[in-house]
Structure 1
Amino acid sequence: MNKPILLAAFVSVVMSIPSAWAASSEVEWKDYKSYRDIREGTENRTRFRERTFKQLEDHFAELAAQLPEKQLLKIVVTDVDLAGDTLAGGINQMRIVKQIYPPRMNFSYQLLDAEGQETKADTVKVRDMNFMNSTNLKYRNKALGYEKKMLDDWFKKTFSAELSDSTK
């Protein structure tokens, strides 16, 4: 009778061990009230912003987990412009996605090693002008899919050396 409980406890401990050594991320949203476009459609403004930030923080965490063990990716976001634009449509507003409204994000990042020493840092402005023409099956019909794809591309380009080191 206690075997299933012991087995479940053992499995949960074993499953948590790799994440203890995995790289992690920290995201700071600096002066978010001045961001170019973090407007909601019909949703509550605060809820929309918090949900959007949470989804992007989770995505940065997924990306950081690909880095070598015990590294920390620190991000300070200074501007966000979501794909599309919020336009008035009667009493409701809705986000219209067109090629002329690409996703953009400005941020600085630091990659710290296990001892807290900076190994890489930069201030970047990422933008995907071709966002509607690329094959994006991974995030098809997902919230912030264009933004996540844009961040994936930036991450692969920026951390290609670190990613190849972590697979060795």
Structure 2
Amino acid sequence: MKTPTVAALVLACLLAAGAADARPASVTDPQAPRALAVEGPVQVQWNDPSGFTELRQSRNRWDAERGDWVVDLAEYLRKQASSKLPEGQQMTVTITDIKRAGDYEPWQGPRLDDVRIMRNIYPPRINLQFTVTDAQGQVIDQGERKLVDNAYLYGATRLSDTDPLRYEKRLLDDWLRRELREDRPTAGL
């Protein structure tokens, strides 16, 4: 009987460890979550990403659905909204559509098939529905917003910022700054 080599044992351990912490390889994975775990005053959920404009109109669907960028945006939204939401209030957000900044241009040649090209004709867009309630559960504000930043290439971004979701995060920051300002008009009051 042969004994396994050290390399085979190391490989088996690495594969087992990787599988234990594996996130979905695709945002359209049926096993992928459609909401963040309930935590804190802000709850974020989203529709099936396969219906998002980012995937429906992509010129490189395979590359567009790679990774877990929907969860990353939802986590960012929850973190930012939690820090801006007044004490005692709660917020529920449903992301209904996303079109990320930039697009793929396969006509640029095979070397650029999987490169997201940033042009002003490809602005980031996020559609969402939200409800803000007070400590007693009374609705303070609610609505549907269609966020778009047509001047995303002209905004202030650091040259060192390599976050692939920086334009979408800035779009969410701008919305939260407008929506959760202290002097905002509220529904139902």
Q: Alpha carbon RMSD of aligned pairs, Å?
A: 2.7
In the alignment, structure 1 residue 58 sits paired with structure 2 residue 55: no
Spell out structure 1 runs of 4+ moving beyond 6 A. Answer: none
Please give the TM-score of this superposition, normalised by the length of structure 2.
Answer: 0.64
* 1:94-109 correspondence to structure 2 within 5 Å: 94-109=115-130
> What is the alpha-carbon distance in structure 1 between the residues aligned to residue 160 and residue 175 of structure 2?
16
**Cα offset for 1:42?**
6.5
Identity score, percent: 27
Structure number with greater Rg is 2
Give the structure with the higher percent strand: 1
- What 5-or-longer segments of structure 1 have no aligned partner? 1-21, 164-168
Please give the TM-score of this superposition, normalised by the length of structure 1.
Answer: 0.71
- What 5-or-longer segments of structure 2 have no aligned partner? 1-38, 185-189
* 1:4-153 correspondence to structure 2 within 5 Å: 24-38=41-55, 43=63, 45=65, 47-48=66-67, 51-65=68-82, 66-88=84-106, 89-90=109-110, 92-137=113-158, 140-153=161-174
- Aligned pair count reads 139
| Partner SS state of residue 132, structure 1 | helix
> What is the alpha-carbon distance in structure 1 between the residues aligned to residue 169 and residue 96 of structure 2?
17
**Cα offset for 1:41?**
7.5
> What is the alpha-carbon distance in structure 1 between the residues aligned to residue 40 and residue 183 of structure 2?
11
Question: In the alignment, what sits opposite 2:22?
Answer: none
